[in-house]
Amino acid sequence: MSKARVVVLISGRGSNLSAILNAAAAPDYPATVVAVIANKADAPGLQVAASAGVVTEVVPSQGVTDRAAYDQSLLAVIDRYAPDLVVLAGFMRILTPDFVNHYADRMINIHPSLLPAFTGLHTHQRALDAGVHLHGCTVHFVTAELDHGPMIAQAAIPVLPNDTATTLALRVLDEEHRVYPAAVRWFAEGRLKIVGQRVFLDSAPANYVGLIAPHVG
Ligand code: GRF
């Protein structure tokens, strides 16, 4: 069977990209990263991609004020790679509705909180300030409303008494690196179904029971 074509968008260090590339190196992984696109030429993740032999592109956003025009040029570059799935992995831009609609049901994002709590930035500090006992990350389909799309998977960790935003971020990141490659796999296998705001997976993978809670169809 042919593998799903994935384009990954990044702005920074690319540790989630790296986790997906590592997973994709396994012969039985159902997706292949066909291009990595950054909005910053100095995004360290570009090196991660290059080291893995993946094509990279930069569509610079610095100084660009016309969001619609930027998104159209980004879209043109992405679509040259004919992706089945667009993966946002630390891509730090607000996307226009036209862009989001173009990739409806085939663009996903990872967010460092248990959505719908703590949309936006500084999630780890906000989780500490709010006194939550559980924190984590969420992989979701991207819709026009920021950090609000149908959720594919979540991973939770306990907040420990001595946690700082830095220690929390590190433990959440470990979970991100487990959850994101799994979510990409499920999408590539055609096992995800969106019903309203909910995402169903045909069956819950045993190794994630108790950690990730997908809806079982
Ligand atoms: C991650 O924390 C992710 O949840 C958020 O941006 C960060 C990206 O990190 N969307 P990296 O570039 O994948 O290391």
Q: How much is the pLDDT for 205?
A: 47
Mean pLDDT of the chain: 93
The whole-number pLDDT of residue 202 equals: 87
Q: Which of 87, 173, 180, 184 to mutate to test the pocket of ligand 1 (most atoms within 8 A of CB)?
A: 173
If one compares 217 and 55, the residue with the highest pLDDT of the two is 55
Q: Cβ distance 143 to 154 under 8 Å?
A: no
Contacts of 146 (CB under 8 A, 6+ apart): 94, 119, 120
For residue 32, what pLDDT is reported? 98
pLDDT tens digits, 76-129: 999 999 999 999 999 999 999 999 999 999 999 999 999 999 999 999 999 999
Find the 48 Cα to ligand 1 centroid distance in Å. 14
pLDDT of residue 203: 54
Confidence category of residue 209, pLDDT binned at 50, 70, 90 = very low
Residue 58 near residue 49 (C-beta atoms within 8 A)? no
Q: Return the active site residues.
A: 111
Residue 212 has pLDDT above 90, yes or no: no
At position 15, the amino acid (one-letter code) is S
CA distances from 85 to 22, 48, 169 (A): 17, 20, 26
Q: Which residues pair with 109 in a beta bridge?
A: 88, 140
Quote the pLDDT of residue 104. 98
For ligand 1, whether the C-beta of 181 sits within 6 Å is no
**pLDDT tens sequence across 187-202:** 999 999 999 999 999 8
How sure is the predictor about 215, in pLDDT bands with cuts at 50, 70 and 90? very low
What is the average pLDDT across 7-28?
A: 98
Q: Angle, nearest 10°, between helix axes 165-188 and 123-130?
A: 120
Q: What is the CA radius of gyration of the chain?
A: 17
Ligand 1 atom closest to Cα of 45? 12
Cα of 15 from ligand 1 centre, angstroms: 7
For the chain, percent of residues with pLDDT exceeding 90? 92
The pTM assigned to this predicted structure is 0.94
pLDDT band for position 204 (cuts 50, 70, 90): low
Query: In whole angstroms, how far apart are CA 112 and each of 123, 171, 172, 213?
Result: 7, 11, 7, 16
pLDDT above 70 (res 63): yes
**pLDDT value of position 210:** 41
Rounded to 10°, the helix 165-188/15-24 angle is: 40
* Interatomic CA distance for residues 166 and 48, integer angstroms: 23
Reply yes or no on whether the pLDDT at 214 is more than 60.
no
- State the Cα–Cα distance between residues 143 and 94, nearest whole angstrom: 11
CA-CA-CA-CA torsion sign (142, 148, 151, 155): positive
Taking a C-beta distance cutoff of 8 angstroms, is the pair 26, 54 a contact?
Answer: no
By the 10 Å C-beta count (0-12 exposed, 13-18 middle, 19+ buried), 93 is classed as middle
pLDDT of residue 160: 93
User: DSSP code of 86?
Assistant: E
Nearest CA to ligand 1 atom 5: 90
- The pLDDT of residue 207 is above 70: no
